[in-house]
């Protein structure tokens, strides 16, 4: 397979540039290559081409086959034109000096075309910028005209108002007095009607206020009566509870007093029994001393039983009275 002059892709996605290489036709596109001949970047306008003229011409003369894109690049840079002239010199159609002159004229013409294209692009950019500036200037002029129009209208309105005010001030005083005399009766009638209407309104308002006050007083009295009734009911409910509490306290006091009296009586009996043998000058025997104690205990027990029964009877009567009061 012959050597091919082709492009090897480089760069990122959607922004690719290419290397112009001489590679084996069986190698992959971005694989191994024999020699790098230049760089082609189509992202600029016009496209940037960096090419080694002599090496690319040498590969063409050796029989390397360029792809369509590389052929267009070589034609654009004059490599194909140079090969064509060298073939004419080899065949004897013209001399080498003539070939160089033709090639120089062709390159000058080509460079003129390239420069014209570059100038055209720059001029188009400048024209676009100038058009945008003109459009912005027109818009600003229109806005300025609208602002001036609005300001002039406002100034005219203010002048008209001032003129009307001066004319009204300079009007004859007689006309003003006549108008006032004609308007006086009408104004007096209006004032009288307004005063009557206000008097009626005041009366109505006073009546409504009196009614509202009476209603509020009736409501307050009803509220107070309800409160008094509720207080009386609460007192009636609390009375039996208080009476019960008093009865319980009295019972407790009576029980405590009775217990105290019993203790005092027992102490007196014991004192008497202890004093009796000492006065007679005899030693009391155990049996004699024990008998009075037993008798005192029996008396105390009998008296205690009677008191307990009396207390139970009194408690029952108090409970009956409390139940009758509740009913």
Residue 207 lies in a domain: no
Residue 100 lies in a domain: no
Determine the Cα–Cα distance for residues 127 and 23; give it in Å rounded to an integer: 45
Residue 166 lies in a domain: no
Domain end point (choices 45, 62, 93): 93
Residue 312 confidence (pLDDT):
74
Q: CATH code at 45?
A: 3.30.1320.10
The tally of domains found in the chain comes to 2
pLDDT, mean of each 10-residue run, the chain (327 residues):
89 92 90 93 90 93 92 93 91 89 92 88 90 91 90 86 77 54 63 71 72 70 70 64 71 72 75 57 43 48 64 75 69
Task: Tell the residue number behind the tokens 């081409």, with chain if given.
Answer: 49
Determine the Cα–Cα distance for residues 53 and 60; give it in Å rounded to an integer: 11
Determine the Cα–Cα distance for residues 281 and 218; give it in Å rounded to an integer: 95
Residue 18 confidence (pLDDT):
95
Residue pair 5/64 in contact by the 8 Å Cβ criterion: yes
Residue pair 77/14 in contact by the 8 Å Cβ criterion: no
Residue 222 confidence (pLDDT):
67
Domain with 255, as residue range(s), is 235-326
Residue 145 lies in a domain: no
pTM for the whole structure:
0.42
Q: Which residues pair with 50 in a beta bridge?
A: 39
Domain end point (choices 53, 70, 93): 93
Residue 1 confidence (pLDDT):
61
Domain end point (choices 31, 66, 93): 93
């Amino acid at each position: 397979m012959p050597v091919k002059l082709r492009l090897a892709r480089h760069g990122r996605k959607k922004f690719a540039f290419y290397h112009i290489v001489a590679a084996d036709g069986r190698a992959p596109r971005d694989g191994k290559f024999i020699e790098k001949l230049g760089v082609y970047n189509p992202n600029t306008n016009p496209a940037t081409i960096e090419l080694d003229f002599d090496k690319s011409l040498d590969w063409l003369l050796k029989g390397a086959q360029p792809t369509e894109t590389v052929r267009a690049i070589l034609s654009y840079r004059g490599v194909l034109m140079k090969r064509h002239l060298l073939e004419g010199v080899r065949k004897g159609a013209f001399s080498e000096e003539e070939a160089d002159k033709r090639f120089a004229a062709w390159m000058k013409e080509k460079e003129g075309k390239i420069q014209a294209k570059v100038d055209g692009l720059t001029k188009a950019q400048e024209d676009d910028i100038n058009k945008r500036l003109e459009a912005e200037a027109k818009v600003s002029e229109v806005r300025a005209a609208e602002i001036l129009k609005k300001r002039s209208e406002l100034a005219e309105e203010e002048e008209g108002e001032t003129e009307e005010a001066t004319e009204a001030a300079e009007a004859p005083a007689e006309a003003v007095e006549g108008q006032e005399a004609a308007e006086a009766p009408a104004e007096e009638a209006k004032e009288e009607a307004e005063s009557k209407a206000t008097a009626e309104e005041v009366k109505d308002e006073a009546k409504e206020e009196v009614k509202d006050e009476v209603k509020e007083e009736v409501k307050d009295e009803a509220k107070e009566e309800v409160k008094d009734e509720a207080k009386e009911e609460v007192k009636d409910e609390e009375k039996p509870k208080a009476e019960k509490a008093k009865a319980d306290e009295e019972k407790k006091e009576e029980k405590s007093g009775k217990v105290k009296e019993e203790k005092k009586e027992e102490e007196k009996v014991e004192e008497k029994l202890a004093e009796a043998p000492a006065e007679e000058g005899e030693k009391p025997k155990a049996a004699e001393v024990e008998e009075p104690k037993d008798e005192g205990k029996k008396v105390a027990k009998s008296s205690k039983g009677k008191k307990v029964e009396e207390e139970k009877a009194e408690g029952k009567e108090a409970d009956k009275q409390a139940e009758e009061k509740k009913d």
